[in-house]
Structure 1
Amino acid sequence: MLERLNEAMEYIEQRLDGQIDAGELARIAVTSEYHFRRLFSTLAGMPLSDYVRRRRLTLAGAEVLAGERTLLDVAVRYGYGSGEAFARAFRAMHGVGPQEARRTGAVLQSQPRMSFRLVVEGSSSMSYRIVEKDAFRVVGKKARVPLVHNGENPAIVAHVRSIGKETVARIAALSDQDPDGIVSAVVRLDASMEEGAELDYYHAVVTSAVAPEGLDELHVPAGTWAVFEITGPYPQALQHLWGDVYAQWFPSNPYQSRPGPEILWVRSSEDGKGAQARLWIPVERTTAG
């Protein structure tokens, strides 16, 4: 998988002054476009579109300083339809406009070319199981929140605190299958996984029951799930697990993510400093690997 990802990165490099087809990148990596975008964002720390834009502006910056092409020619070469659009993007990355950069020989920013490699630390193993699950519903209270990679998510904390005890009890009573009891369910509205990207967050249960009045419902089709288990400090261990699943488990196993909610079951330790958790990720088996 990592070898194929690096082949996809080479495809990007060869086409920075032309069209880059995300579908073709996914084909090279032998995966779906949805999974490729999510995997890339996790490994690279930025969405695919941001990486391509930054690599193009890095090369454009070198050409601006070289002075061998007009600024409009450089803009068109790297995919900008007008000098104004190019100038805005150039300034956003480099902190200076292209005209000023050429005139003064300004110091510019650089986005290095990325390649991926697997770092084997050997300090821990990842426990998981594969589950085939019939269709079900996620029923509870929903809020739209921003993605936060590190530390507690204030918007989620505020949402959970806003739900009254009676409502929580009503939700909990609907649980009738694994994972049991109150869970967190996250539906990502795009595949970027960029900090601040919007999510639909459910404080809910997994159930076969239709949502009663006043509660939100998400219907989830039948499918395959990878279930990861971990015990450690909360929320740090959970956030690291999320990253490890995409950075280590997917490149090493014949599965790819598919659209659907990511479900987190957490039970705190007695001292409140740690937690036992199970992370449910919707997956499908790949045809290769």
Structure 2
Amino acid sequence: MEWIAAMQRAITYMEEHLLEEINYEDVAKHVHTSCYEFHRAFSFLTGITANAYIRNRRLSLAGREIVETDASITDIALKYGYETPESFTKAFARFHGIAPSFARQKSAKLVLFNPLTIKLTVEGGKSMDYRIVQTEQQKFIAMVRSFPIEIINDDDNHDVADFWEECNQKNLIGPMCGLRPDGKRDLYGLCSPTKEGKDTFEYGIGVLLDGDTAAFDLAEMEKAGYSVWDVKPGTYVVFDCVGEDGDCITETWSKFYKEFLPQMGYEASEETDYEIYFEKGRPGIFCELWIPVKKK
């Protein structure tokens, strides 16, 4: 229940500071969690990022104020955090579908975006298969890139998918898979938690380094842009992502926060999480999702 309560505290904090200069980083500090974990948890629990929530609430309130008061559009723009009437007009029109100047016309339709309330609902008749695995220290050879935290769970962003496509097109995956024997060429999508003071996270595409991996020249691989990714020993909860595309990964993350954490006595751990794309997969399984957790 801690995540549910923390996210509700976050919403309350945002509502109390809507007219101040705040973003998801400020909210994360208020609920005493990392920016990365807060952004991810909030977006998967609510279906919207914290920054988008703040923006939508401001624009909703601004629309109401335009209709109900005689305040100038410039003053309203400044009140809700916009530096110029022009930037406010663009944001307002995207959200409401009309310009602020038309909002005062009779019968103008505006969008209402009410405060969120997070509640835990219990539904019967559904199963969520998982297993808990204790892992030893692991190493991977991977092609790694940094991405902004804001892209997590952003349906309009395809940067990570484009990274996979780029690695395929440039044959950057082949040299890594070639280090593994047939039948053990599983690919890993590695995701690191953000570091203190950073607004990015690292995502890597790689293969496991173990006794089955062929010898290779690390210096030459590093020259080609690859790097070694270390993962500490830990406890992981493992889920099958059932589906035909990456949407099932998003759905599994959502279930992790909404169903698994509130019920199972675990909390998320800020270590590497990863997807495994098996060379010889099982029918209907897109990948396995491994999420680091720890007992409360």
User: In the alignment, is the contact (CA less than 8 A) between 1:140 and 1:217 conserved in 2?
Assistant: yes
Q: How does 1:146-161 map to 2 (within 5 A)?
A: 155=162, 156=164, 159-160=167-168
Structure 1 Cα separation of the partners of residues 49 and 59 of structure 2: 16
For 1:57 and 1:45, the matched residues in 2 are separated by 18
Q: 1:256: which partner in 2?
A: 268
State the partner residue of 2:73.
71
Label 1:164 to 1:33 Cα distance change in 2 as closer, same or farther (>3 A). Answer: closer
Partner residue in 1 for 2:252: 241
> Which residue pairs with 2:92 in the alignment?
90
Q: Which moved more, 1:78-87 or 1:100-109?
A: 100-109
Secondary structure of the 1:59 match is: helix
- With over 3 angstroms needed to count, the CA separation of the structure-2 counterparts of 1:78 and 1:232, relative to structure 1, is closer
Q: 2:127 aligns with which of 119, 124, 127?
A: 124
**Equivalent residue for 2:281?**
268
Query: TM-score, normalized by length of structure 2?
Result: 0.72
Match of residue 175, structure 2, among 155, 158, 167: 167
Partner of 1:117, secondary structure, is: coil
Does 2:184 align with 1:183? no
Alignment match of 1:222 (pick from 223, 228, 232): 232
Aligned length: 271
- Identity of counterpart residues, as a percentage? 21
1:136-151 to 2 correspondence within 5 Å?
136-140=138-142
Listed one character per residue, the Cα deviations across residues 238-278 of structure 1 (whole Å, up to 9, x for unaligned) are 55323312332234444225263523243423xxx423853
1:1-55: CA deviation from partner (whole Å, max 9, x where unpaired): 2133212212211221224364553355453332111101112222210111011
Report the aligned-residue RMSD.
4.0
Note the residue ranges of structure 1 that are not aligned, 5 or more in a row. 192-196
- Matched residue SS, 1:227: strand
Structure 1 contact 64–102 (Cα < 8 Å) conserved: yes
Query: What secondary structure is seen at the aligned counterpart in 1 of 2:66?
Result: helix
Mapped to 2, the partners of 1:185 and 1:142 lie a distance apart of 10
Q: Deviations over 1:75-110 (max 9, x none)?
A: 122112222222221122112221222245521122
Query: What amino acid is the match of 1:262?
Result: Y
Residue 10 of structure 2 contacts residue 31 of structure 2 at CA under 8 Å; is this kept in 1? yes
Q: Find the counterpart in structure 2 of residue 9 from structure 1.
A: 11
